[in-house]
Structure 1
Amino acid sequence: MTSVPPLIRTRDNDFFFAAAAAGRLEIQRCAACKVLRHPPGPACPACRSFDWDTVVSSRRATLHSWTVVHHPRDPAFDYPLAVGLVDLAEGVRLVADIAEVDLATLAIDMELEVGFAEHGRGEILPRLFPPGQARGAAR
Structure 2
Amino acid sequence: MTDLSTLKVPGPTVIPLTEPFWEAAAEGRLVIQRCGACGEAVFYPREICPHCWADALSWEEASGTGWLKTFSTIWKPGHPGWIPAVPYTVGLVELAEGPTMLSHILGETPEVGMKLTLAPTNIGGRVLPCFRPEHGVE
Classify the TM-score, shorter chain.
Answer: 0.7 to 0.9
Q: Are residues 1:11 and 2:16 paired? A: yes
* Counterpart position of 1:83: 90
Residue of structure 2 equivalent to 1:36: 41
Structure-1 separation of matches of 2:20 and 2:43: 12
Q: TM-score, normalised by structure 1?
A: 0.83
Q: Point out which structure has higher relative CO (alpha carbons under 8 A, 6+ apart).
A: 2
In structure 2, the partner of 1:116 is 120
Query: Which residue of 2 is the match for residue 131 of structure 1?
Result: 134
Does the 8 Å contact 2:114/2:133 carry over to 1? no
How many residue pairs get aligned? The number is 130
Whichever structure has more helix as a proportion of its residues is 2
Aligned identity (percent) is 30
Are residue 74 (structure 1) and residue 104 (structure 2) matched? no
Give the direction of change, closer, same or farther, for the CA distance of 1:132–1:24 in structure 2 (3 Å limit). farther
Q: 1:119 to 1:40 in 2, by over 3 A?
A: same
Instruction: List structure 1 runs of 4+ shifted beyond 4 angstroms.
Output: 132-135
Helix, strand or coil: the match of 1:71? coil
TM-score by length of 2: 0.83
